[in-house]
C-alpha cells in the first residue's frame, strides 16, 4: 500500500516538474530596413502578409478573416476559423501575443530593435514553455511565426511582390534608335523603330543576339522618349538615327520579371524603385524592358513578358 502511494506521489511530482513553465529567450536576426520591419509589425492588419496561420486562412478566403481594434487598450484581435490571436502592444516595439484555439493556448512576447549594422534588425523572443517540451526541442510559441516573418522580409518575391535579383548585362552591343514621341503614339512608334532596326541589321550584315529592349522616359507635355534596341554581334556604322552602343562588360543590373497586361507593369517599376531605395543603390542609366518573347505590345491591354532591368552601382 505504501509503495503504491509512493509511486503515485512520484508520478505527480514528475508530472508537475515536466509541465512546470520554463522561460526561454531567443534572438532572430533579420536583414531588412528599420522602416519596413516596423511597418509590418505595428499595423496588425499587415500580419496576414507573414503570420503562417493567418496568411493561409486569408489566402483561402479573405471573408473568414477579421480584425477588431481596441485602441484605448492597445489590443487587437485577429480571428480566423477556429483560432484567435490577441495582440497587445506593450510599446511600439514590444508585443505580447496570445494564440487561442484548437484546444491550446500559447503566449509569447517579442521586442523589435535595430541590429548592429545598417539594414539589420533583431527580434528578441520571450516565452514560457513546459519543461518537457524544451527538453525535446519542441518548437516554442512564436518561434515559427517570427521565423516566417524573417523569411517574408528577406524574400523579395514575398515582400516586394517580384523576384528581384542582381544580374549582369547580357548584351554587350546594342543597335538602338532614340525617338521623342507623344504618349498616344507609343505603340506605333516602338513597332516602327523595331522595323527600322531589323532593316539596319540586314543592310549591315548583323546578327540579332538577344531580346528586343525598350526604354521609356517621360517628358513634358504628354510626351516621352523611347529607345528601342536590338542586341547584335558586332558594331556597325551609324545610319538614319541608329547607332551601335557598347555596354560595360560585367556591368550590374537589377532585374525582375513581369508577365501580364502592358498597363499593369507599373507595379514592377514601383517594386524596383522601393528595392533600390531600401538597398541604397544608385542608377547610372535609364531602366529598360527586355521583351522575352520579342513581341512588342500594340495596346495597354496586350499581354507581355518582360524582364525589367535597372543598371546599378
**Fold agreement (18-152, 165-311):** no
Domain-by-domain residue ranges, the chain?
Answer: 18-152, 165-311
165-311 CATH fold: Multidrug-efflux Transporter 1 Regulator Bmrr; Chain A (3.20.80)
- Residue 30 CA to residue 247 CA, distance in Å, equals 36
C-alpha angle 176/180/184, rounded to 5°? 115
- Residue 88 CA to residue 249 CA, distance in Å, equals 54
What is each CA distance from 171 to 168, 223, 284, 308, in whole angstroms?
9, 28, 17, 14
pLDDT per residue as tens, the chain (313 positions): 556 554 455 555 544 444 446 567 899 999 999 999 999 999 999 999 999 999 999 999 999 999 998 877 789 999 999 999 999 999 989 999 999 987 678 899 999 999 988 889 999 999 866 544 554 555 577 999 999 999 999 999 999 999 999 999 999 999 999 999 999 999 999 999 999 999 999 999 999 999 999 999 999 989 999 999 999 999 999 999 999 999 887 899 999 999 999 999 999 999 999 999 999 999 999 999 999 999 999 999 999 999 999 999 8
Q: Give the pLDDT confidence of 140-156 residue by residue, as tens digits.
A: 779 999 999 999 999 99
Q: How far is CA 26 from the centre of its chain?
A: 26
- Residue 175 CA to residue 200 CA, distance in Å, equals 9
Options 2.40.10.340, 3.40.50.620, 3.40.50.300, 3.30.530.20; CATH of 18-152: 3.30.530.20
Q: Give the pLDDT confidence of 36-90 residue by residue, as tens digits.
A: 999 999 999 999 999 999 999 999 999 999 999 887 778 999 999 999 999 999 9
Amino acid at each position: 500500500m505504501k509503495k503504491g502511494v509512493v509511486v503515485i506521489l512520484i508520478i505527480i511530482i514528475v508530472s508537475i516538474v515536466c509541465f512546470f513553465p520554463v522561460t526561454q529567450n531567443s534572438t532572430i536576426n533579420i536583414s531588412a530596413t528599420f522602416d519596413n520591419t516596423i511597418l509590418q509589425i505595428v499595423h496588425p492588419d499587415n500580419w496576414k502578409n507573414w503570420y503562417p496561420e493567418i496568411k493561409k486562412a486569408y489566402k483561402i478566403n479573405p471573408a473568414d478573416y477579421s480584425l477588431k481594434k481596441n485602441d484605448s487598450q492597445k489590443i487587437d484581435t485577429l480571428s480566423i476559423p477556429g483560432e484567435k490571436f490577441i495582440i497587445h502592444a506593450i510599446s511600439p516595439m514590444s508585443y505580447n501575443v496570445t494564440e487561442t484555439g484548437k484546444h491550446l493556448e500559447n503566449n509569447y512576447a517579442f521586442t523589435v530593435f535595430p541590429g548592429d549594422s545598417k539594414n539589420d534588425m533583431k527580434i528578441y523572443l520571450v516565452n514560457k514553455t513546459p519543461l518537457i517540451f524544451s527538453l525535446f526541442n519542441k518548437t516554442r510559441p512564436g518561434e515559427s511565426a517570427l521565423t516566417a516573418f524573417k523569411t517574408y522580409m528577406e524574400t523579395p518575391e514575398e515582400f516586394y511582390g517580384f523576384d528581384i535579383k542582381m544580374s549582369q548585362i547580357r548584351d554587350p552591343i546594342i543597335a538602338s534608335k532614340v525617338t521623342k514621341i507623344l504618349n498616344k503614339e507609343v505603340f506605333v512608334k516602338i513597332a516602327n523603330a523595331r522595323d527600322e532596326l531589323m532593316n539596319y541589321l540586314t543592310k549591315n550584315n548583323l546578327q540579332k543576339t538577344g531580346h528586343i529592349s525598350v526604354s521609356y522616359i517621360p517628358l513634358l507635355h504628354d510626351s516621352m522618349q523611347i529607345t528601342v534596341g536590338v542586341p547584335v554581334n558586332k558594331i556597325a556604322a551609324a545610319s538614319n538615327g541608329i547607332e551601335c552602343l557598347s555596354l560595360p562588360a560585367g556591368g550590374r543590373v537589377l532585374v525582375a520579371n513581369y508577365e501580364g497586361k502592358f498597363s499593369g507593369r507599373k507595379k514592377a517599376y514601383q517594386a524596383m524603385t522601393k528595392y533600390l531605395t531600401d538597398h541604397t543603390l544608385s542608377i547610372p542609366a535609364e531602366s529598360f524592358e527586355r521583351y522575352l518573347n520579342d513581341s512588342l505590345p500594340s495596346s495597354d491591354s496586350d499581354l507581355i513578358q518582360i524582364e525589367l532591368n535597372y543598371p546599378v552601382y
